[in-house]
Structure 1
Amino acid sequence: MPSGYRSSGIDFDDLFDPYVEGPQAQDSGRRIGGTDLSRRYAHIQYGSKRADVGHRINGMDVSNLWAAKGSAQYDAITIPNPSISGYSYAGAAPNGHAAFSFKSNGMVQTWTNNPNGVTRTFGPWLIRGVASNFEIRYTKIEGDANPSGTGAWLNLGTDRYCGFDVVYGSAGCSLVVEIRRASTGVVLAREDQVYMSASHSRGDTGPIME
């Protein structure tokens, strides 16, 4: 049902994007069935301002409250699979190492000894939005490695590291990686097959592999 509020004969429903999620704008003083229109339209932080519509609150046009029609964009995420394998040898590195981090800047980084330590920016997990709106959980499924950082939901407003060292020999494990919305607990992305392995040779020299 149209809002009943118009500008130049056009209903507000055709001028502003509908509310989907997130914060709501301050009350506009315009209501439908006792509910303020700020519960009906997307906060302007998710989109852009349209031209004034001639309805004001405390001298401010209500077009400053809501996202113009077709402009609202919400958080978007993905989980690039950061499976990694590292090899190192005693003459070049003190241990074998494999790790990755989903970072607060929206990127995924990986580390391996290869042989002296290789850091790579793997790709983005945050396509659009604010990192602290999300939480991540690493769950070990199987394997003889015991990486740090597993088991609990952790807010992505801080870099979240998962990794392990091997003094001699080799170790590995498989993980499930999940990301959920912090405010609702709804899981938005999941990767079931993340593998990590590392090995360390006692020899003074050896091949460099990754």
Structure 2
Amino acid sequence: MDTSRRDAITLTGAVLTSGFLGSAAKAQAAPATPQWGAWTTHIDSAGQAATMASSFNEGNTALSLLFDKMEISLQGKDQANRAASVVLAGHYPIAVPDEFNLNGFFLIARGQVSKSPNSSAMLTLSLGDTTRSFEWPRRPKVVDVSTKETANLITEFTFDAECFSGDSNLGIGDPPKFGPLSPLTLAIGMYARRNSADEDILFQVSSVDIVILDLVKA
């Protein structure tokens, strides 16, 4: 083997070795991130789970879900169509790295309500060990004093409903051993009704964000 060829092979080997070591160093330096398992459905009255779109942030600490079926529409003259509900419930298994300073989980549900005065809507959010409810109750109808006629005015509301559930990732012993977290349960309940077929209501939840809170960054 001539000198130039031997030098080329030696140089190539050095470059490959350097690249491998550089990649290994970067891999070791990269911080461990939370890992989300697959969604498990408990209840899905609207068939939403099959079509909800999901995306994660760069650090895997936030999940966004887009909905296209979480909707209640009570409209028209059908007297039998005056109350409805939609429920989606299930859980995500989540594994966080050892030493992760878990502070809990945060949920934001976004949507809108368009309703006549004598109709009502209620949203319930359950996350982990916490449940919250939000209400858009019935209101008195507006009466035109000049004509004495009752106006069926539609009022629109947009909402960012929030729910927090505390949790921690505690190590036991010395050195500490970290056990698995319980699955994160999530439930969204939508309930609506109208007093008569003259009332209208459209109630939608369009998206939710689930955030893993780090005590250091919270």
Q: Tell me whether the two structures share a fold, i.e. TM-score over 0.5.
A: no
- Larger Rg belongs to: 2
Which has the bigger relative contact order, CA under 8 A and spacing at least 6?
Answer: 2
Using the size of structure 1 for normalisation, the TM-score is: 0.25
